[in-house]
């Protein structure tokens, strides 16, 4: 990670977008930061936590986004500038709190929420757009167009939030969050943070300070006034600007990373003198005067934005208010089909849209280019599907789950959840996961399935959840299962890390974000205290794990918990040497013959095992093999040998 706390104003640093945001927050003088990890947002809190002690701020990985937001609001109420960060899914988790926070207003410390959207859902279950949510929650929202803006906007957002007295959102996307660029630094504040919850709000009337959403209609009215104030400020914001000819043939209205794609497209088409770009940084509330001034520059307007037609719809609303005889440009974008309303946008798509609108012939590249590029890329990349790491405990767990469900014979299935183990919906987990929605959703779905006995339902249900996800959102579903006697087995994949997002600590790890040792919240003690029957398995012991799962599925009664306890291999490997050195006894390996049909490289699919087609034998890839030894128990011929390393 970059050095975000460096005190060198006016120098340039190479930052990823998330580090730029974190730096912006430091320059704004935040004292409190809370987040739940989620790609592509995790590095914001990650980088703040690393420097928190040194800088004298507080940073935490919260149990979930809701608590992160609430905790940050608490700090704001006591006068501390605070930040909450999350990925787009997290916004749903906090939306209930936000819907009330906008009514109560924030405290003396400005409060900013960073939401990182993930167009194309590269590391997500969906590609939800935060912008419409800001609109329906009446929250001002801004979006940086590059790394410098990511830093500058964040810094400015705290001033704005404090002035308005309401939470403000900075929306980022993967290509801003994770791409890297130069950022010119500003000053770091030297002010000492003092936290105090002012009991008296108004000295004249001796009114106590409250953050209560009632009376709601009045508070709602006040909120709209705050939004109007924000709109007024946005009208002259330097984050909104126009670049292009006075009378362009086509006006592009864009924001965020799409601004960069639009510039590339115009450059590639050499249309700098024909096409103009109106780049917006403050998206909600829309600076209507500023936009109106530009929207009639051309009779053709193209909206280039990722995911939802947010700017497009907002500008169309604006156009609806134009005087009856005013000239109306033709709008192009998602509604017209020129820009996709799903997935990421790239310069090619923008080029295609511009070319179509302006009737240009443009061949962006050699027709066979994509094929050639693919071939070139493949020549350097081992052919491998998306899978668990070599030595990952999840592979072993899903092997046992698969076998247990098959042996049980009642057509049981797995309800899945969010984490590395989401990959179990594919070959990595032997296609075991049948439902997947949101954090904790798998256990919730299992609650319903587990109550269908009266309708003849006898299929065993296994809800699979990671350790971090268990703490995040599964506990209420577990309590519900125990309370309402729903018949399912909750399998907690306890690898002692929030592995998918970068091994952030959680309540079960005994470590805080700032590296301090803390109390371990024992999941088994918690589950047992709720009255659940709890078993703890070592997933590497395939037989015992399978037997335990079979027993739990066969047992009557309500919700049961099986904890699969094995440290994430990536964490373990950093601390210890591999437990085993693996090799193949080629005399015993029967390869594709009857009695094996290369079970290890065809079904088990650990990347540490490779099929030597020429020899007709399996082979250990010594670079990748982590020496976990599980495959020795999978091999039906005893041909995979583990020796103590």
Interface contacts to other proteins, rule CB under 8 A: 402-403, 406-409, 430, 550, 590, 592-597, 599, 602-603, 634, 636-638
Q: Could you give the CA distance from residue 234 to residue 287 in angstroms, rounded to a whole number?
A: 5
Give burial (CB, 10 Å; 0-12/13-18/19+) of 434: middle
Q: How would you list the strands of the sheet with 330-332, edge to edge? A: 241-243, 275-280, 250-255, 300-304, 330-332
Nearest-approach distance from CB 420 to other proteins, in angstroms: 22
To 10 degrees, what angle do helices 288-295 and 310-320 make?
A: 80
Nearest-approach distance from CB 590 to other proteins, in angstroms: 5
Nearest-approach distance from CB 588 to other proteins, in angstroms: 9
In the complex with other proteins, the residue whose CB is nearer, 612 or 633, is 633
Give the side-chain half-sphere CA count within 13 A for 28: 32
Query: Which two structure tokens, joined as six digits, stand for 211?
Result: 């953050």
Nearest-approach distance from CB 131 to other proteins, in angstroms: 46
C-beta atoms surrounding 200 within 10 Å: 10
Q: Could you give the CA distance from residue 34 to residue 44 in angstroms, rounded to a whole number?
A: 10
Query: What are the residues whose beta carbons fall under 8 Å from the beta carbon of 325, sequence distance 6 or more?
Result: none
Query: Which two structure tokens, joined as six digits, stand for 67?
Result: 């608590």
Residue 263: which of 246, 250, 276 has the closest Cα?
276
SS3 content of the chain, % helix, strand, coil (to 5): 40, 20, 40
Cβ proximity of 152 and 207 under 8 Å: no
Query: Which two structure tokens, joined as six digits, stand for 491?
Result: 């399998």
Nearest-approach distance from CB 432 to other proteins, in angstroms: 12
In the complex with other proteins, the residue whose CB is nearer, 18 or 618, is 618
Cβ proximity of 90 and 36 under 8 Å: yes
In the complex with other proteins, the residue whose CB is nearer, 382 or 409, is 409
Nearest-approach distance from CB 387 to other proteins, in angstroms: 16
Q: Could you give the CA distance from residue 300 to residue 250 in angstroms, rounded to a whole number?
A: 5
In the complex with other proteins, the residue whose CB is nearer, 359 or 595, is 595
User: Which residues does residue 560 pair with via DSSP β-bridges, in sequence order?
Assistant: 489, 533
Q: Could you give the CA distance from residue 588 to residue 105 in angstroms, rounded to a whole number?
A: 71
Question: At 242, which helix (H) or strand (E)?
Answer: strand 241-243
Q: Can the peptide bond before residue 124 be classed as cis, meaning omega within 30 degrees of 0? A: no
In the complex with other proteins, the residue whose CB is nearer, 58 or 430, is 430
Nearest-approach distance from CB 550 to other proteins, in angstroms: 8
Nearest-approach distance from CB 341 to other proteins, in angstroms: 39
In the complex with other proteins, the residue whose CB is nearer, 35 or 606, is 606
Nearest-approach distance from CB 596 to other proteins, in angstroms: 7
Q: How far is CA 585 from the centre of its chain?
A: 44
Residue 285: which of 113, 99, 135 has the closest Cα?
135
In the complex with other proteins, the residue whose CB is nearer, 425 or 573, is 425
Nearest-approach distance from CB 561 to other proteins, in angstroms: 23
Q: Could you give the CA distance from residue 445 to residue 437 in angstroms, rounded to a whole number?
A: 9
Q: Could you give the CA distance from residue 405 to residue 415 in angstroms, rounded to a whole number?
A: 13
In the complex with other proteins, the residue whose CB is nearer, 531 or 636, is 636
In the complex with other proteins, the residue whose CB is nearer, 550 or 632, is 550
The DSSP line for 116-161 is EE-GGGTTSS----HHHHHHHTT--EE--SSHHHHHHHHHHHHHHH
In the complex with other proteins, the residue whose CB is nearer, 509 or 601, is 601
Nearest-approach distance from CB 602 to other proteins, in angstroms: 8
Q: Could you give the CA distance from residue 251 to residue 327 in angstroms, rounded to a whole number?
A: 15
Nearest-approach distance from CB 638 to other proteins, in angstroms: 8
Q: How would you list the strands of the sheet with 282-284, edge to edge? A: 58-61, 32-35, 82-87, 111-117, 168-173, 141-142, 282-284
In the complex with other proteins, the residue whose CB is nearer, 517 or 595, is 595
Give the side-chain half-sphere CA count within 13 A for 488: 34
In the complex with other proteins, the residue whose CB is nearer, 87 or 402, is 402
3-state secondary structure string across 198-255: CCEEECCCCEECCCCCCCHHHHHHHHHHHHHHHHHHHHCCCCCEEECCCCCCEEEEEE
Nearest-approach distance from CB 403 to other proteins, in angstroms: 6
In the complex with other proteins, the residue whose CB is nearer, 367 or 594, is 594
In the complex with other proteins, the residue whose CB is nearer, 374 or 592, is 592
Nearest-approach distance from CB 634 to other proteins, in angstroms: 8
């Amino acid at each position: 990670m970059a050095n975000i706390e460096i005190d060198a104003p006016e120098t340039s640093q190479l930052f990823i977008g998330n580090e730029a945001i974190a730096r912006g927050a430091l320059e704004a003088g935040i004292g409190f930061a809370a987040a739940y990890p989620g790609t592509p947002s995790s590095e914001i809190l990650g980088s703040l936590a690393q420097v928190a002690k040194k800088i004298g701020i507080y940073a935490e990985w919260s149990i979930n986004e809701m608590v992160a937001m609430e905790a940050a609001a608490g700090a704001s109420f006591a006068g501390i500038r605070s930040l909450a960060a999350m990925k787009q899914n997290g916004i749903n988790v906090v939306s209930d709190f936000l819907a009330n926070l906008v009514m109560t207003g924030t405290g003396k410390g400005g409060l900013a929420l960073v939401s990182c959207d993930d167009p194309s859902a590269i590391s997500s279950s969906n590609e939800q757009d935060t912008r419409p949510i800001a609109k329906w929650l009446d929250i001002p929202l801004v979006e940086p167009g590059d790394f410098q803006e990511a830093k500058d906007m964040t810094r400015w957002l705290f001033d704005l939030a404090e002035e308005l007295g309401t939470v403000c959102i900075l929306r980022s996307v993967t290509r801003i969050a994770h791409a890297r660029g130069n950022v010119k630094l500003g000053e770091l504040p030297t002010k000492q943070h003092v936290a105090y919850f002012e009991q008296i709000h108004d000295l004249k009337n001796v009114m106590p300070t409250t953050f209560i959403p009632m009376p709601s209609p009045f508070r709602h009215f006040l909120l709209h006034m705050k939004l109007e104030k924000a709109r007024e400020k946005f009208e002259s914001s330097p984050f909104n600007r126009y670049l292009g000819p006075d009378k362009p043939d086509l006006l592009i209205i864009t924001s965020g990373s799409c601004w960069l794609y639009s510039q590339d497209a115009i450059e590639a088409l050499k249309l700098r003198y024909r096409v103009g770009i109106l780049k917006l940084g403050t998206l909600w509330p829309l600076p209507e005067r500023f936009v109106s001034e530009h929207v009639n520059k051309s009779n053709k307007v193209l909206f280039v934005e990722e995911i939802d037609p947010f700017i497009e719809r907002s500008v169309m609303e604006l156009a609806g208010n134009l005087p009856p005889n005013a000239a109306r440009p033709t709008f192009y974008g998602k509604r017209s089909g020129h820009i996709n309303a799903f997935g990421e946008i790239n310069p090619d798509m923008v080029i295609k849209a511009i070319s179509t609108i302006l009737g240009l012939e443009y061949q962006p590249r050699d027709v066979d280019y994509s094929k050639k590029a693919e071939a070139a890329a493949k020549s350097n990349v081992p052919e491998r599907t998306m899978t668990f790491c070599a030595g990952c405990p999840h592979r072993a767990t899903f092997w046992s789950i698969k076998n247990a469900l098959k042996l049980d014979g009642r057509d049981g299935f797995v309800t899945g959840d969010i984490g590395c183990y989401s990959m179990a919906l594919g070959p990595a987990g032997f296609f075991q996961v049948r439902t997947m929605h949101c954090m904790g959703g798998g256990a919730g779905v299992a609650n319903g399935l587990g109550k269908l006995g009266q309708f003849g339902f006898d299929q065993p249900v296994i809800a699979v959840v990671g350790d971090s996800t268990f703490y995040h959102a599964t506990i209420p579903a577990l309590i519900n299962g125990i309370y309402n006697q729903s018949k399912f087995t909750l399998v907690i994949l306890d690898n002692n890390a929030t592995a998918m997002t970068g091994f952030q600590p959680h309540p079960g790890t005994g470590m805080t974000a700032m590296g301090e040792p803390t109390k371990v919240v024992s999941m088994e003690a918690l589950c047992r205290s709720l009255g659940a029957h709890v078993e703890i398995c070592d997933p590497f012991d395939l037989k015992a794990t399978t037997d335990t799962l079979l027993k739990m599925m066969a047992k009557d009664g309500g919700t049961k918990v099986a904890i699969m306890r094995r440290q994430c291999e990536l964490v373990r490997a950093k601390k210890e040497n591999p437990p085993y050195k693996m090799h193949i006894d080629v005399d015993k390996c029967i390869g594709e013959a009857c009695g094996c049909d290369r079970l290890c490289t065809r079904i088990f699919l650990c990347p540490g095992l490779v099929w030597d087609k020429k020899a007709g034998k399996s082979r250990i890839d010594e670079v990748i093999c982590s020496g976990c030894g599980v495959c020795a128990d999978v091999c039906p011929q005893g041909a995979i040998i583990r020796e103590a390393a």
